[in-house]
Structure 1
Amino acid sequence: MRAFLLFLTLLIVFQIPGCKRAQTSINTTTLKIAVSILPQKYFVEKIGGSLVDVIALVPPGVSPHSFEPKPSQMVELSQCRLYFTIGIDFESAWYDRLTSASKQLIVVPTDTGIEKIISTHEHHDHGDTHGDRSESGEHERFDPHIWLSPELVKQQAATICNALIEADSLHKETYQSNYENFLKEIGTLQDEIRRIREACPDDHGFMIFHPAWAYFAREFRLTEYPVEIDGKEPSPKELVNLVLFAKEKNITTIFIQPQFSPQTALQIAKEIGASTIEVNDLAENWAENLLQVAKVTNSCSHDK
């Protein structure tokens, strides 16, 4: 009899609509957040912790410069409360469609107030710049890779924290505490990278296919020498100049990235007897990634 009563009680608990609603309410206490790229997911989760459920629109191995959201991702986005943008190409191209995904969606630009690097888009010409691609004048655009500078990530983190608090003021203290802890982690990371960099002179240079690391280079006294300019492969003349330039700078390693074809970089590496190392500016484990890049840049060139 007691067993039957226990069974009946459990059956009632799990069948009563009110009980189901209570369980659903518990599961929906997290804020559903969208970001453009995986490093942003790292930032938001550092500050939001278990209070946020974060989706990144650009999947691993895909370039945000050519990315187009899938219909299924638009559906996911429509279920989000906040969308943290960062100033990359597809956001502006898809802005109207992204923001119309849901009336409740709040778009938060995390690049607000950040002074961006202006790219002049000219290749090195064995000591001088040259103009195969600049007959119509020098083309300028802002470098969007602001997530690769720890100092600039501090600014982005402040924007993220404020937006989370505004959307979920009940957990203000948690967000604020997590934000402060994240700032300490960033400071520790900066100290470690500077310690690694002590072994090399200022303006120590590295060659990379896609010019993604200019902000990192600026913060830690490095010089980035790109192969690709403005999304374009070098012309035959530019390729010759790049080989001469790399030899002049005694480049021993060229960085390649999983989002881009390595063929041109491999060709230059073969010509100068250099090796190639893959680095990923979109890696989700942001802190570990920057630390690893700091280590490999210290051995990738020995400027004469």
Structure 2
Amino acid sequence: MKGKLYKIMIPLFLLVFLVGCGSTQDTEKTDNKVDKRVSVVVSFNAMAELTKAIGGDKIELTTIVPSGVEAHDFEPKPREIASLSKASLFIYNGLGMEPWAKDMLKSIDNKNLQIIEAFKEADLIKNSGDEIGEHGEFDPHVWLSLKEAKVQANNIKEGLIKVDSNNKDYYESNYKEFSKKIDDLKAEYEKKITSLERKDLVTGHAAFAYLCRDFGLQQHSVEDVFAEGEPTSQKIKELIDLSKKIKIKTVFMEENASPKVSETIAKEVGAKVDTINTLESEGDYINTMKENLEKIYNSLT
């Protein structure tokens, strides 16, 4: 009897073992399928921050322009171009911010790649003078408006849903959460800034027109929208005279910019120099915009 039981037990043990192994393999396959993330390539940091807010842990993100490099001065190398060959989605700002993007897209062979120009449907600010001929009709710094950043984030959300419809609810939920954070931040500083008498902002680079529009501020800058060329002595003198007249306390310069001109103006008018972040190279979106707004508010009190 014991011998018979022994003979029966061995096949049963093997059967359980084999079924167990099969279940483990099936689970691994299922887990791998669930954990597979969408390959997304973005142009520069501001687009990366908006995309991370919506895509969360469902995406594998690659940023083309490295930290410390201006997006409109960048020239992609084969390595950056190759990152698009297997991507599902490419997101860029547009409006001349990345003049290399369209030529780069023409050079890749990826028929499944979806492309999002994040500026679409935003309320754009027109350029003026020589910049229209050189760079286009509109100011590209759309993401520096809290209001327009929501538009860009929505475009990104729709792009993610298009390439990954299974996670639509996840992307929708992240967008709602991100939008609420933006709305709360905007409401906080609208209340603070509206009460101020002074509304003039002096910057080295005219990148903050959208932010100023959000809060009823007036931007005065040494350099144009794309910060190209050297400012003339006449332009600097005019800004110094204006800064004295309106009693500017702070001259703002952008991260990675040369402080020379900003320091010259600040010295002449008895102001300090402080850094304001365009998010082109670094910075979390919500926290960085809050820091920018707090600095601006303090400069106007």
Provide the rounded CA distance (Å) in 2 between the counterparts of 1:26 and 1:166. 18
Instruction: Assess if the C-alpha contact under 8 Å between 1:197 and 1:294 holds in 2.
Output: no
Provide the rounded CA distance (Å) in 2 between the counterparts of 1:169 and 1:212. 35
Provide the rounded CA distance (Å) in 2 between the counterparts of 1:293 and 1:94. 28
Note the 1:11-50 alignment, pairs <5 A: 25=33, 29-50=36-57
TM-score by length of 2: 0.82
Q: Given residue 214 of structure 1, which amino acid in structure 2 is its aligned partner?
A: A
Aligned to 1:150: 146
Distance 1:262 1:31, change over 3 A: same
Provide the rounded CA distance (Å) in 2 between the counterparts of 1:55 and 1:178. 20
Instruction: Assess if the C-alpha contact under 8 Å between 2:125 and 2:139 holds in 1.
Output: yes
Instruction: Assess if the C-alpha contact under 8 Å between 1:35 and 1:85 holds in 2.
Output: yes
Larger Cα Rg: Structure 1 or Structure 2?
2
Deviations 1:50-71 (A, max 9, x none): 1111122222222112112232
Provide the alpha-carbon RMSD of the alignment.
3.0
| SS across alignment from 2:205 | coil
Distance 1:69 1:20, change over 3 A: farther
Residue 212 in structure 1 maps to residue 207 in structure 2? yes
Residue 191 in structure 1 maps to residue 187 in structure 2? yes
Q: Specify every segment of 5 or more residues in structure 2 that has no aligned partner in the other structure, as ranges.
A: 1-16
| SS across alignment from 1:78 | coil
Instruction: Assess if the C-alpha contact under 8 Å between 2:42 and 2:48 holds in 1.
Output: yes
- How many residue pairs match? The answer is 278
Distance 1:58 1:138, change over 3 A: closer
Query: What percent identity do the matched residue pairs reach?
Result: 29
Q: Given residue 294 of structure 1, which amino acid in structure 2 is its aligned partner?
A: L
Shift of 1:152: 0.8
Instruction: Assess if the C-alpha contact under 8 Å between 1:196 and 1:295 holds in 2.
Output: no
TM-score by length of 1: 0.81
Deviates more, 1:266-275 or 1:206-215: 266-275
Equivalent in 273, 277, 283 of residue 274 of structure 2: 277
Provide the rounded CA distance (Å) in 2 between the counterparts of 1:208 and 1:156. 25
| SS across alignment from 1:55 | strand
Residue 228 in structure 1 maps to residue 223 in structure 2? yes
Deviations 1:93-123 (A, max 9, x none): 34122343233222111111223111225xx
Equivalent in 121, 125, 137 of residue 117 of structure 1: 125
Instruction: Assess if the C-alpha contact under 8 Å between 2:91 and 2:115 holds in 1.
Output: yes
